[in-house]
């Protein structure tokens, strides 16, 4: 019998059964008191997860849409943006802002590097940009940057920060208000354990002030209209009401043991995954430390095609892992450890990887990765 795919990808991620059940409830109308009630709870829980007292805007879109909403509500044609990039998604935001008519000043690092506060300070002084893009967790490489000092640099110069937290929010610590982030963007389909289709933007008071003078064209993404209608318990256009219902369930689970417990679990899952990968004898691509709590990137041995390995995992073991981007496509695979997964899922994947490598002629001993992962994971509650 075909098994459902185990999604060990950094999004979409598996969702808990309670969330799937919530999706099966009768559809709510978006202009009804029933929906307004659910939406209010979603708002309250989102604020807790973002660690903000500000409004969190809810869009029916993917994370990319919410990032576009930030650009068109905060910038005018020709405005200069300092766009920090250390991988695929930073490059996407540079391209997006250029396409929308902004002047992009890139601060580009090699993939896998971490942005440095002094570089940012220098680039800000030189460019005099008043807006900065930052990617918290660069999903293409597994690198989570140290966001707090980067945000402090933005605050020192008065630049408005827009943070891509699509794969980090709920997975690793992010203090929207305490760290002074102006706009934080995320999506439903990653650490928030909800299917794809919703995206969120937490917006500071300073960012709201900027919207008054920003002149890029906007309609679906108009934050002001969004805020007005959200105050009445709905959204300007038909939202994915069933996803909002599911989100409420998911956030209850995320918050049940406190966010710190979720962060500790993701760290331990990362620790376990790295130990397993090393026990198999594979080289890590993502950092070999606890910052790599979102996903683990590993390289196949020379001559073993990572695409073929991923397809074999999918088709023979019902396990989906993510691939690499660009020139690393034939060597890199990425194991996500966010969402509704446990260390036993990682152990299953490690054994499947060993079997496939063995069948591809690699000298590996099947059965080393799983115990190493379980031991390194330790006794953190699942
Ligand atoms: N930013 C990061 C860091 C991501 O990981 C992703 C998705 O993988 C995105 C942005 C884009 O999000 P979406 O696919 O929801 O538009």
Q: What pLDDT band is residue 382 in, cutting at 50, 70 and 90?
A: low
Residues 255-279 pLDDT 10s = 999 999 999 999 999 999 999 999 9
CB of 339 closer than 6 A to ligand 1? no
pLDDT of residue 331: 96
Average pLDDT over residues 344-357: 98
Average pLDDT over residues 22-34: 98
User: What residues contact 250, with CB distance under 8 A and at least 6 apart?
Assistant: 15, 16, 18, 19, 188, 192, 193, 194
CB of 59 closer than 6 A to ligand 1? no
Using the predicted structure, report yes or no on whether residue 96 has a pLDDT greater than 80: yes
Closest approach atom of ligand 1 to CA 135: 3
Residues 57-76 pLDDT 10s = 999 999 999 999 999 999 99
Residue 324 Cα to ligand 1 midpoint, Å, equals 14
pLDDT of residue 2: 76
Q: How far apart are CA 291 and CA 297, in angstroms?
A: 13
Average pLDDT over residues 212-217: 98
CB of 9 closer than 6 A to ligand 1? no
pLDDT of residue 381: 60
Pocket mutation for ligand 1, best pick of 139, 165, 168, 197 (most atoms within 8 Å of C-beta): 139
Q: What pLDDT band is residue 327 in, cutting at 50, 70 and 90?
A: confident
Neighbours of 108 (CB within 10 A): 15
Q: What pLDDT band is residue 226 in, cutting at 50, 70 and 90?
A: very high
CB of 167 closer than 6 A to ligand 1? yes
Closest approach atom of ligand 1 to CA 62: 15
Average pLDDT over residues 159-188: 98
pLDDT of residue 379: 80
Average pLDDT over residues 250-254: 98
CA nearest to 49, candidates 146, 171, 143: 171
pLDDT of residue 176: 98
Using the predicted structure, report yes or no on whether residue 325 has a pLDDT greater than 90: no
Average pLDDT over residues 347-352: 98
Average pLDDT over residues 281-301: 98
Using the predicted structure, report yes or no on whether residue 207 has a pLDDT greater than 70: yes
pLDDT of residue 269: 98
Residue 67 Cα to ligand 1 midpoint, Å, equals 10
CB of 93 closer than 6 A to ligand 1? no
- Whole-number average pLDDT of the chain: 97
Average pLDDT over residues 133-145: 98
pLDDT of residue 1: 63
């Amino acid at each position: 019998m075909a098994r459902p795919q185990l999604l060990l990808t950094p999004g979409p991620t598996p969702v808990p059964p309670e969330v799937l059940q919530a999706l099966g409830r009768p559809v709510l109308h978006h202009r009804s008191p029933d929906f307004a009630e659910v939406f209010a709870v979603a708002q309250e829980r989102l604020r807790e997860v973002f660690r903000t007292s500000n409004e969190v805007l809810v869009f029916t879109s993917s994370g990319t849409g919410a990032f576009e909403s930030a650009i068109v509500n905060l910038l005018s044609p020709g405005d200069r943006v300092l766009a920090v990039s250390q991988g695929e998604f930073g490059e996407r935001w540079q391209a997006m802002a250029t396409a929308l008519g902004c002047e992009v000043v890139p601060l580009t690092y090699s993939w896998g590097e971490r942005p440095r506060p002094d570089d940012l300070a220098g680039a800000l002084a030189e460019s005099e940009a008043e807006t900065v893009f930052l990617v918290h967790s660069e999903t293409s490489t597994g690198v989570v940057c140290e966001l707090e000092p980067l945000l402090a640099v933005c605050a020192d110069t008065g630049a408005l920060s827009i943070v891509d937290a699509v794969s980090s929010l709920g997975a690793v610590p992010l203090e929207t208000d305490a760290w002074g982030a102006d706009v934080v963007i995320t999506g439903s389909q990653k650490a928030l354990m909800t299917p794809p289709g919703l995206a969120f933007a937490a917006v500071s008071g300073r960012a709201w002030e900027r919207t008054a003078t920003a002149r890029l064209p906007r309609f679906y993404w108009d934050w002001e209209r969004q805020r007005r209608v959200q105050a009445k318990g709905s959204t300007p256009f038909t939202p994915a009401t069933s996803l909002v219902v599911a989100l409420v369930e998911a956030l209850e689970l995320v918050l049940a043991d406190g966010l710190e417990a979720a962060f500790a679990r993701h760290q331990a899952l990362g620790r376990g995954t790295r130990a397993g990968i090393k026990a198999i004898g594979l080289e890590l691509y993502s950092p070999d430390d606890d910052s790599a709590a979102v996903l683990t990137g590993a390289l196949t041995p020379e001559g073993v095609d990572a695409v073929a390995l991923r397809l074999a995992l999918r088709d023979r073991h019902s396990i989906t892992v993510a691939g690499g981007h660009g020139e690393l496509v034939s060597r890199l695979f990425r194991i996500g450890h966010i969402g509704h997964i446990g260390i036993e899922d990682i152990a299953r994947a490690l054994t499947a990887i060993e079997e496939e490598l063995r069948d591809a002629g690699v000298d590996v001993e099947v059965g080393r990765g799983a115990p190493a992962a379980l031991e390194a994971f330790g006794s953190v509650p699942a």
